[in-house]
Amino acid sequence: MPEAFGLSGSAVSRRYIRAIARELKKLCERRLKGYGFVALILDGKTFGTDETMVALGVTVEGRRILLGFIETGTENERVGREMLEGLSFRGIKIEQGLLCMLDGSKGLRKGIYEVFGTKALFQRCQWHKRGNVVSYLPKSVQGSMRRKLQEAYQESSYEKAKEKLLKIWKELQLINRSAVNSLDEGLEETLTLHRLGLFQELGISFKTTNCMESLMALIGQKTNKVDYWKTSDQKHRWLAAALLDIEPRLRKVKGYRYLPQLRVSMRSEIEKQVVKQGAQTAEVA
């Protein structure tokens, strides 16, 4: 009889670890120069007690591309800056503008601005803004105020949406000053798509961070059953393998046919901002 041949469990494990390590290297070092990105979404995924920030890019053709991730304790300025500097080193091109979607983190916003400057336009998640505002209110009025905010954000034009939000702002002054401050903070950045004239066409994809939330749910299907993460390397390998497995199955964002128009609108908005900053500098001088 022929001799039996087999592999030990430890040998299989080592091979598996090496294979996933190659996937991690592939994801983290993938060159980005050939992609025409128009949007960037950043969000966090919890692994045990740790937080990992994931970056997702959207190309002008509507494809969702995983850009990488970084392990962090909080969504702060340094984390955002280091992640974006890494993307710049790998060749991401933003000369024509980049719409950056955030849930409201001031630290991440500052980090992005420090790296990308005026080329970055910010769209704050309307869902998070609505939730933050109503959280300050008595439960008896939360439902009605949530509906009013939703109706305001659903207006297709910037002028009408801003008008309704200012009306809500006046109403909140009589109820809760903290809610007013919450609405004030970053209000214009919740209306960026409105200001670009593309809310109806792209709002379903870019008015919230839901584009990333669906990705996080897919990651969770592969990682949530792990009760104990032995090392940071293990988390990194698992996440990289999950992301590269999921990426080919990600559908194009809804409204992708309007992304070339988004690029044109962003260029125009960036030019306006540059002119405005130049005028302000001249006034100070």
Say what the pLDDT of residue 13 is. Answer: 65
Say what the pLDDT of residue 10 is. Answer: 53
Domain boundaries, the chain: 12-125+209-284
For the CA atoms of 197, 201, 207, 209, the dihedral, rounded to the nearest 10 degrees, stands at: -140
Say what the pLDDT of residue 75 is. Answer: 60
Q: How far apart are CA 220 and CA 191, in angstroms?
A: 31
Cα 33 from chain centroid (whole Å): 20
Say what the pLDDT of residue 47 is. Answer: 67
CATH number of 12-125+209-284: 3.30.420.10
Say what the pLDDT of residue 71 is. Answer: 77
pLDDT in tens, the chain (285 residues): 555 444 444 554 677 667 777 777 777 788 998 899 999 998 877 766 677 788 899 999 999 998 888 877 666 667 778 888 989 999 998 889 999 998 877 878 888 889 999 999 999 999 999 999 999 999 999 999 999 999 999 999 999 999 999 999 999 999 999 999 999 999 999 999 999 999 999 999 999 887 787 788 888 887 777 777 777 777 778 778 888 888 888 889 999 999 999 999 999 999 988 777 777 766 766
**CB-side neighbour CA atoms (13 Å) of 73:** 0
